[in-house]
Amino acid sequence: MRRSDLGEFEEVVLLAVAVLSPTAYSVVIAEELEQETGQTVSTGAVHAALQRLEQKGYLTSHLGEATPERGGRRKRLFTVTALGGRVLNEVRSVRNRLWERITPQTTLKWS
């Protein structure tokens, strides 16, 4: 399990899946990210990231029910796997450790 396996966008998408679980699919993820970041996020980009994450084993997916606004088409719902959870945890603890080592003075200077 190498760290470099997880790109920045992938990490965010993976987190969003965890947040929206169990009804996470590309449209809601894209809108969630748009809201959180304030930037336009296309479902295509999200979909591609989801595919990659699934390939790496951090996500699993299944087809959900059809809804009318989808023209009767089914959606693909994603959930985080145990492996995905571990990776998220690890990323988080690395970040936390690093955050904790920043001296308060430095933090003050930025704000």
Give contact residues for other proteins (rule: CB under 8 A).
Answer: 25-27, 30-31, 40, 42-45, 47-48, 51-52, 63, 66-71, 73-76
> Of 62, 59, 63, 33, which is closest to residue 45 (Cα–Cα)?
33
Residue closer to other proteins by CB (options 47, 56) is: 47
Query: Among the residues of the chain, which ranges form H helices?
Result: 8-20, 26-37, 43-56, 82-100, 104-110
Closer Cβ to other proteins, 45 or 91, answer by number: 45
Cβ distance to other proteins smaller for residue 55 or 111? 55
d(C-alpha 72, C-alpha 78), whole Å: 19
Minimum Å gap between C-beta 45 and other proteins is 6
Q: Please state, in angstroms and rounded to a whole number, the distance separating the CA atoms of residues 39 and 18.
A: 20
**Rounded least distance, CB 66 to other proteins, Å:** 8
